[in-house]
Amino acid sequence: FCMNWILLILSTGPTVSGSLVKGKVGHNITVPCFYSVKRTQDITSMCWGRDSCPVSKCYRTIIWTDGWKVTEQYNSRYTLKGNLLMGDVSLTIVNAEEADSGIYCCRVEISGWFNDQTSNHKVVIENARISTASPHTYTSEQTSAHVRTSESSSTITRMWPSVSASEAPQTASGPCSSTLDCSDVTSNLQNVSVSLPSQQYSENGLYIRIGLCAVLLAILILALFLT
């Protein structure tokens, strides 16, 4: 009977819990693990190791603690930053790498046969996505506005009359060489300065005549309608 009981205990083993922890390369990852501490006598030793928890101790041990402080540390990137005296023995992986992915075992040694608290945690470390900013693209509205601005500027430029070199005003350091030259320059300046207003007056007169014709036509239609 005793032999069967021992074989049953060995085959079932301690209760094992676990969790899934995901992280990104270059970030700090915390794998949770706690045990109950109600009094000072409850503080006990524990270990972290790679792979699933064996019957005792830890495989590929990372950290050992006597419950008060860390006694063995096999890699400086694996630390215990929690309050050990309160039962917080969570493992922190500093600057995580893809090689850190895998199964981690947290074993808390509790006095008595097969009383150890064990938990297996699966850690998955993924590459961080790198986003690149796309170059600026102009929208259709911006492009059309730019085209309209260019067209309007060119239209305004074409409205000014072209003046040849002979018609442009000339400045000289001295008086005109002759009376004829001075009169030619004066007449050219008058033609240039007056050309725009005269053209504007002719256009205004055309608009006035068109308006009068429209008024007369409206009066005629109204008279026919009344009769």
pLDDT, position 121: 97
Mean pLDDT, range 149-165, rounded to an integer: 43
Measure the CA–CA gap between 63 and 212, rounded to whole angstroms: 103
Report whether 80 contacts 90 (CB < 8 A). Answer: yes
Res 172 pLDDT > 60: no
What is the predicted pLDDT for the residue at 196? Answer: 42
Phi first, then psi: give them for residue 19, nearest 5 degrees: -155, 165
% of the chain beyond a pLDDT of 70: 59
CA atoms within 13 A on the CB side of 2: 0
Q: Which residue ranges form the domains of the chain, and what is each CATH number?
A: 14-126 (2.60.40.10)
Find the mean pLDDT for residues 180-204. Answer: 50
User: Is there a contact between 123 and 50 (Cβ–Cβ < 8 Å)?
Assistant: no
Does residue 102 or residue 190 have the better pLDDT? 102
Region of poorest pLDDT, from 50-54, 68-72, 124-128, 172-176:
172-176
Question: Across residues 37-61, what is the average pLDDT?
Answer: 95
Residue 90's pLDDT is what?
Answer: 97
pLDDT in tens, 55-104: 999 999 999 999 999 999 999 999 999 999 999 999 999 999 999 999 99
Report the Cα 178 to chain-centroid distance in Å: 76
Percent of the chain with pLDDT over 90: 45
- Out of 14-18, 101-105, 133-137, 202-206, pick the least confident: 133-137
At 162, the pLDDT band (50, 70, 90 cuts) reads very low
Residue labelled with tokens 């000072």: 40
Counting DSSP H helices and E strands in the chain, the numbers are 3, 9
Residue 124 in 3-state DSSP? strand
Residue from 124, 14, 106 nearest 52 by CA: 106
| Local structure of 26: helix, strand or coil | coil
- Which pLDDT does position 211 carry in this prediction? 85
Which has the higher per-residue pLDDT, 21 or 148? Answer: 21
Backbone φ/ψ region at 146: left (φ over 0), alpha (ψ -120 to 50), beta:
alpha
Whether the predicted pLDDT of 25 surpasses 90: yes
